[in-house]
């Protein structure tokens, strides 16, 4: 089916925005997205994207996954002209949307993300899925907590996870035992959610903020990593005006991250 949202829907930009690690470029203008135990291919067209799924599957899952019912043009319009840096970032990042991803997948992938760059994170996640996930045609699903708990720390370390293997094993055992109920955490407010996530071994402020933003779609969350810290330090004198974007600061974070990493000239981090 055809999705005519070219201006505010750009899979390539989303793939490079640091929020997901299983959006793959197959060739120019063609992508494959893997979410949990589903996958879909998208082909760029002049004014739209072609998705290889039925309308029922699109409406039942992918429309929500890609957050297509949210008005991102309105978010970009909230940036005052006097903020030249963020104005440039939102223009450069037009087409980015905050995906509605699975909390378990986000918990594991952002534990993995600590002290790793995006290509390394993708490689670790892919290895983890190939070893412990369910076969899905050309892809592998994201492994369950039970599968990762059964892998043990040695099996997880074999996926190039290093010290993160122990944290992922601990999270898997908490979920497997029911001590950590990720579905129930969705009922928590924006303040209590990251605080609860930080009770999981290996989860600090940044990882908890990322899981809240990308796994629970709490778009008020504003994760800060080395890229965002540099932007805030160099362009906002150390203090980003979060008050201007109350309730959707996480959307601005994505524009800033993508622009710093892929747009403006900056040193490699």
Burial class (CB in 10 A: 0-12, 13-18, 19+), 81: exposed
**Predicted TM-score (pTM) above 0.85:** yes
CB-based contacts of 183, cutoff 8 Å, min separation 6: 103
Ordered by start, the domain boundaries in the chain are: 2-92, 103-188
Angle at 181 between CA 157 and CA 174, to 5 degrees: 35
Q: Taking residues 249-255, what's their average pLDDT?
A: 98
Q: Is 206 a catalytic residue?
A: yes
pLDDT surpasses 60 at 7: yes
Q: How confident is the model at residue 264 (pLDDT cuts 50, 70, 90)?
A: low
Q: How confident is the model at residue 6 (pLDDT cuts 50, 70, 90)?
A: low
Residues 13, 55, 116, 206: which is the catalytic one? 206
Angle at 125 between CA 123 and CA 129, to 5 degrees: 115
pLDDT at 263: 86
Is domain 2-92 given the CATH code 3.30.310.260 in the classification? yes
CATH architecture of 103-188: Orthogonal Bundle (1.10)
Neighbours of 186 (CB within 10 A): 13
Beta bridge partners of 136: 139
pLDDT at 236: 97
């Amino acid at each position: 089916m055809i999705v005519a949202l070219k201006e505010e829907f750009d899979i390539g930009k989303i793939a490079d925005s640091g929020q997901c690690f299983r959006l793959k470029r197959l060739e120019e203008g063609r992508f494959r997205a893997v979410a949990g135990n589903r996958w879909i291919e998208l082909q760029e067209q002049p004014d739209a994207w072609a998705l290889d799924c039925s309308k029922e599957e699109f409406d039942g899952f992918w429309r929500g996954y890609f957050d297509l019912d949210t008005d991102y043009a309105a978010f970009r319009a909230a940036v005052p002209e006097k903020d030249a840096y963020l104005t440039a970032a939102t223009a450069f990042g037009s087409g980015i949307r905050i995906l509605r991803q699975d909390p378990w997948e986000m918990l594991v992938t952002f534990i993995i993300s600590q002290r790793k760059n995006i290509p390394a994170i993708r490689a670790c996640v892919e290895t983890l899925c190939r070893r412990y996930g369910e076969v899905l045609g050309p892809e592998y699903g994201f492994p369950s907590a039970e599968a990762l708990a059964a892998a043990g720390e040695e099996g997880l370390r074999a996926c190039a996870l290093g010290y993160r293997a122990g944290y992922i094993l601990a999270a898997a055992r908490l979920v497997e035992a029911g001590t950590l109920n990720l579905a129930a955490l969705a009922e928590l407010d924006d303040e209590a959610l990251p605080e609860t996530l930080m009770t999981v071994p290996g989860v600090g402020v940044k990882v908890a903020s990322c899981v809240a933003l990308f796994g629970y779609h709490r778009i008020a969350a504003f994760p800060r990593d080395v890229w965002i810290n540099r932007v805030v330090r160099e362009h906002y004198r150390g203090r980003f005006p979060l008050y201007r974007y109350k309730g959707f600061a996480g959307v601005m974070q994505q524009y800033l991250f993508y622009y710093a990493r892929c747009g403006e000239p900056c040193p490699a981090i």
